[in-house]
Structure 1
Amino acid sequence: MSLGFASQDSIPANLRMYQRKLQPENKAKLLGCWGRAMRFLPAVVIIILLLIYLMSFNLSPFQQLNPQESIHQSHHKIKLIAASATMNPVDRISGQRCDNNNFQIPQLLAAFQACVTKDEDISLESYLEGWTELQKIINALGTVFGFISEEVNSKMEIIIQHRKGVHGKEYATIKSMIDYELKSDLVNNSRLHSDGLVSGCRTLLRLHRALQWLQLFLDKLRYDSQSNSISDICADSYQRTLAKHHSWLIQKAAGFAFLALPSRAKFLHMLCVQDNKDTRVKLWNSVNAIERVYNITQHMYAQHGMLELP
């Protein structure tokens, strides 16, 4: 009994031949569409992983070790960290005022000039003051750089708490910190201080590496022409410095972040910096002061074979 559907035998021969010819063509089209879709798969995976990575920063490593401590209990010299951490200049450019919560080149220069002691050591108090200003630069790059800002903030908090602890006097300078932690065998990655803090030497090494990135970025910024974008400057500085210390995932995340950077004019406006000769002179002096601090720190770490600490 027929149910109303044509059997294969009832279909004319020429139509059957057309069906057989059409099937490979359809398969080829499907494979073509699938191939085009697969080309976008790596980018989709990277974006998903990036979102997962960024969401993992709800609590910094320091906050996990010390839930009772907060940034508001930090040293009075770096009380502006909280204000700078909440800034989101990219999302609210309009109506911005230039006040003490914004980036200040004179404060940056003064802090890093004060870092170097008479015996070529580095004062950690002044070092953290300088980083308070540098963190504002990172914040001005936008929320997409939150993963670097969070890392810097957590490392600063650890150094602050070391300075406030029972062995605070040992954390007056980088040299005194290195001598104390090596003598006490606290640089080993598997050990924590009795107060639950990780090694100050390892912590500061992360800031030291990031310092080189920002020093090169500022150096290029004062020399660049209007045709060079902030994205290009920042990406090139990153590839020459921090990239070699980051995993593939973080490098890809940074690559996406560079694409979202504002124009040079907007970036300088968000930092409350005028693009003129006076600014370039101040940046030049600041870059030189930062470079000197970096080189002294680099030499001390190299002397003790600690530049490649994991």
Structure 2
Amino acid sequence: MEDEKTLKKMAEAFKELANTINQCPDREEARLELAAFSRACSLVSPLFRCLGIAFKFAELDYVSKVDDLAEASKSILTLPVMMDGDIEANCVRRAGSHTRNLLRVKRGIDMVKVLFEQILSSEGNSLKDPASKAYAQVFAPYHGWAIRKAVGAGMYALPTRAQLLNKLNEDETSARIQMQNYISSAGPVIVYIDQLFINRQLGIDW
């Protein structure tokens, strides 16, 4: 059984990040701390675990990259400083670079946001449709045929909506509130990260 407050912890941590961004007159100048960011991202990991085999690839990939950012935060204060360091070292696109890992982690945050949006707008107990749409929108464009096929097969092993809420110790009402809170807070964080990449002419589609 997961921590009874997984969704609440996620929503609150991302609300703090969104507040940091929104309080800055020029959002792009917001100095989002790497430690706070990686901590918030680590709170999303249990959700991937609860989704089972379909998102095993995402869980393993996401967790390892969040761990890298958490380690980096011991010596790097903010996201912009981290990215500028990689640009200077000419290693932005190298496998394992902090900036590349940040882009992958951002997709994990985005996938969960889209998944929650789909869950909130759908009826019924199946998560297959919401999860398939979230995967197709966020991850599929960057995955080869083999991974897409494996994920498609795994969609049949997803927990039902009721099983997911049970694993998360949530009822329908509390889950809806926290999912909506996460959606509202994750949105500005995703836009902020995209902007960091775009402003540095790094692009976000790689």
TM-score (norm 1): 0.59
| Structure 1 contact 102–136 (Cα < 8 Å) conserved | no
The match for 1:159 among 55, 61, 69 is 69
Q: Verify: 1:212 aligned to 2:122, yes or no.
A: no
The match for 1:287 among 177, 180, 183 is 183
CA-atom RMSD in angstroms: 2.0
The match for 1:266 among 153, 163, 182 is 163
| Structure 1 contact 202–309 (Cα < 8 Å) conserved | no
Runs of 4+ in 1 over 4 A off after TM superposition: none
Alignment of 1:3-152 (within 5 A): 96=1, 101-116=3-18, 117=20, 118-119=23-24, 120=27, 121=30, 122-152=32-62
The match for 2:148 among 225, 245, 251 is 251
**5+ unaligned residues in a row in structure 1: which ranges?**
1-95, 191-197
Partner residue, 1:180: 85
Using the aligned pairs only, state the percent identity.
Answer: 21
What secondary structure sits across from 2:123 in the alignment?
Answer: coil
| Structure 1 contact 103–272 (Cα < 8 Å) conserved | yes
Cα deviation for residue 188 of structure 1 reads: 4.8
Cα deviation for residue 297 of structure 1 reads: 0.7
Higher-Rg structure is 1
Cα distance change of structure 1 residues 147 and 282 upon mapping to structure 2, 3 Å threshold: closer
Post-superposition CA distance 1:204-233 (Å, at most 9, x none): 111112221111001122232126x20111
The match for 1:238 among 123, 135, 147 is 135
Post-superposition CA distance 1:139-186 (Å, at most 9, x none): 00114532221111110121122223xxx1xx3221121222223333
Cα deviation for residue 103 of structure 1 reads: 5.0
TM-score (norm 2): 0.86
| Structure 1 contact 102–271 (Cα < 8 Å) conserved | yes
User: How many residues are paired up?
Assistant: 198
Following the alignment from structure 1 to structure 2, what is the Cα–Cα distance between the partners of residues 163 and 129?
A: 10
- Higher RCO structure (Cα 8 Å, ≥6 apart): 2
What secondary structure sits across from 2:196 in the alignment?
Answer: helix
Following the alignment from structure 2 to structure 1, what is the Cα–Cα distance between the partners of residues 69 and 145?
A: 28
Following the alignment from structure 1 to structure 2, what is the Cα–Cα distance between the partners of residues 238 and 145?
A: 9
Cα deviation for residue 296 of structure 1 reads: 0.9
Post-superposition CA distance 1:86-107 (Å, at most 9, x none): xxxxxxxxxx4x6xx3552221
Following the alignment from structure 2 to structure 1, what is the Cα–Cα distance between the partners of residues 152 and 40?
A: 26
| Structure 2 contact 34–70 (Cα < 8 Å) conserved | no
Cα distance change of structure 1 residues 258 and 288 upon mapping to structure 2, 3 Å threshold: same
Paired AA for residue 131 in structure 1? C
